[in-house]
Structure 1
């Protein structure tokens, strides 16, 4: 597999920056694990399934700091797979998602580093398998100027250099400069209104890809109450391509959460926007609270084209002393500007249940079903995953876990139908 040199250094930049900023005040939670896996169809071949056995070594961490000078939150995981049986080559996989903001002039001038490293499919139409994954990294860094427009309105100006890279997709690789200006007004103790304008100049490394300039203007309303919260963006996006063509579209993004009781909560997300793979990766960065036990991944393809994105998701979460349950459907439509090959409509449902059998014994069950229709290929695919895991805590730091996963993939004939069963036994050490 070809690896671009800048893909991994860019991913490490955020972590290096965070550790160098007052490292003595940083809280670091980490996990080290090792296990053995047995897979009865490792490359998801519909005709000739090949079994494999592998030893996996993993390391995950969450790094956090919240002071007047430094605000940092990073979550990452690395895995090395040593296949001692089967057709698959040894593999290193990694993910890192986070943001670091450092005020080197108090309340006035800060510097921000953001990074999103995910595992993405090489071939979007093929089943998920170790030979169909690539590391995709988007790194953003630059200064921020904080000032007061007036007694009631605060201002913030941002300048960013953004680098996008992928192991396999040369068309995706780019550099861009982005400048933003925000005016923030506090309406009352629970709500704010922000007017934002942003301009980007995007330069792709591959001459086949179309360079462009993008402009966004939008208004954001935030309201946070004891049991509800709401964030709403409404505005417009304009794109001017280097070849003289242009594109424009309204932008609407919304997120809401209702905490019906201490145990029940609903969350809703909606979006109608013109975006691209790099921009959506940075917008997806969220604060992590737990050390990831799996890699951050996405099923979406990466390329240079902007796309029209319509998205909706609803989640119900129930929390109890012994039971944790989440469930919800989602819908997403992706319509590319430059190519219709990857146009996709995806519908799915995700459920997860955790149950404490004993104080030191936990059962976890999940189900994930998704259906995708690719209009450009006249293709429909279905992906279904079901699994269960039994975890035993031996002490404060040590635990073991046995997992079973069933993955089934079917389509209209491009790759055919395939299924796999995976057993995985792991031993884990946690520092907290």
Structure 2
């Protein structure tokens, strides 16, 4: 629960610290870009003002605060003959006028580089993911309860063909993981994944997949982190119908752990996307597998629709820990985009059961929705909402989050605009110290390229 130190401020973290790996994709982009005409860079500069009547999310010791923040967001895409790059990032500096909290920098980054050294034979892949995640997972996103978490992945990919319909792909990867505060998360990971693919017809293919990962934690205390090897074997089927794309996995996964018993589970995954017409899109994802915080962060940030720095409307945070868990995950995402009206609804369910005993086993249910209506050619009103229920099994704790926001955005010119928001953020809980109510207003002016 929130300690007095967390409610009222805490010693300053190294909030301006960003690991050099977060810049790696951008450096490689500048060094190896093979055609400036193929590159697209968009960026947005914002000036933000926020006032909250309970910025520390406390039930009995509310702290009103006004925040000012300059902010930069960008996305970069290059699709050259030899180099493919996708990168997006956000960084903001928050100044707290009441001086109850230290000024801080928040940042997020997701970048992927695929460099073809020898076409259809050898590629070099570099990926980096930087995010802000809670220190105390049960508490909200208030000043002092966020830490930088970074996952860096790099290695070669080899390709081989056996006729027109069969091919082999081999990924060899090394990874470095880092958390600013959480003990036991830092690790070195080494692995390989092989996929033997065969085209059944022009719209479908099947593959046999084998994967191996070795995880070596920097902390040698087995009470904090246990090194392990993970072995996965599964069959994947990709298909395409008229307006439907789908991918199905079925297989088996095994954890071989140092100083602890081995564990195993079945693998079952499904991804379906349906585009009935240009205005509607429906996607469904289901997963039953072993997973951990690293995998969770990478999968979330690889999705360009996911925010880099989760806000109040984010349906789920990542629990930064060394633990591995059995995951049941279901996510339905419906979107409608009309000439004036837009709508998105996303129900989500997660059940996580950790391999090692602890107090993090939980079930999460969430519903996020967004609706927008264009009143005038340059004026849009938006209504956002999020409902989440999180049950912690070992401590008989159930938290219920209710977040609603109303916004108006006006685009003055092609480059300039402003947006005003009002938020209501409530949490009810079985644990008194976890409850809070927050009301906030926000205004920002932006310039975009």
TM range (shorter): over 0.9
**Structure 1 counterpart of 2:202:** 189
Say if 2:250 is the partner of 1:234.
yes
**Structure 2 counterpart of 1:134:** 147
CA contact (8 A) 1:62 1:74 kept: yes
> Structure 2 length normalisation: TM-score?
0.91
1:378 pairs with one of 396, 401, 404: 396
What are the equivalent positions in structure 2 for 1:268-287 lying under 5 Å apart? 268-286=284-302
| Distance in 2, Cα, partners of 1:161 & 1:68 | 25
**Structure 1 counterpart of 2:31:** 20
Instruction: Check 1:4–1:181 CA distance in 2 against 1; reply closer, same or farther (3 A cut).
Output: farther
What are the equivalent positions in structure 2 for 1:6-405 lying under 5 Å apart? 8-22=19-33, 24=36, 25-208=38-221, 209-243=225-259, 245-286=261-302, 288=304, 295=310, 298-405=316-423
| Distance in 1, Cα, partners of 2:273 & 2:103 | 43
| Distance in 1, Cα, partners of 2:391 & 2:150 | 27
CA contact (8 A) 1:185 1:192 kept: yes
Instruction: Check 1:247–1:149 CA distance in 2 against 1; reply closer, same or farther (3 A cut).
Output: farther
1:248 is displaced (CA, Å) by: 0.8
| Distance in 1, Cα, partners of 2:351 & 2:244 | 28
Superposed CA deviations along residues 2-56 of structure 1, whole A, max 9, x for unmatched, are 4499852222222322333217242111111112111111101110211111111
1:86 is displaced (CA, Å) by: 4.9
| Distance in 2, Cα, partners of 1:397 & 1:294 | 23
CA contact (8 A) 2:113 2:125 kept: yes
1:416 is displaced (CA, Å) by: 3.5
| Count of aligned pairs between the two proteins | 430
| Distance in 2, Cα, partners of 1:304 & 1:392 | 45
1:244 is displaced (CA, Å) by: 5.2
CA contact (8 A) 1:146 1:155 kept: yes
Instruction: Specify every segment of 5 or more residues in structure 1 that has no aligned partner in the other structure, as ranges.
Output: none
| Distance in 2, Cα, partners of 1:215 & 1:233 | 15
> Structure 1 length normalisation: TM-score?
0.95
SS of the residue 2:277 aligns to: coil
| Distance in 2, Cα, partners of 1:181 & 1:28 | 34
SS of the residue 1:255 aligns to: strand
CA contact (8 A) 1:149 1:183 kept: no
| Distance in 2, Cα, partners of 1:19 & 1:214 | 36
**Structure 1 counterpart of 2:6:** none
Greater CA deviation, 277-286 or 244-253? 277-286
Superposed CA deviations along residues 182-221 of structure 1, whole A, max 9, x for unmatched, are 1121222211212111111110011121001111111111
SS of the residue 2:28 aligns to: helix
**Pairwise CA RMSD:** 2.0
| Distance in 1, Cα, partners of 2:101 & 2:425 | 18
Instruction: Check 1:202–1:414 CA distance in 2 against 1; reply closer, same or farther (3 A cut).
Output: farther
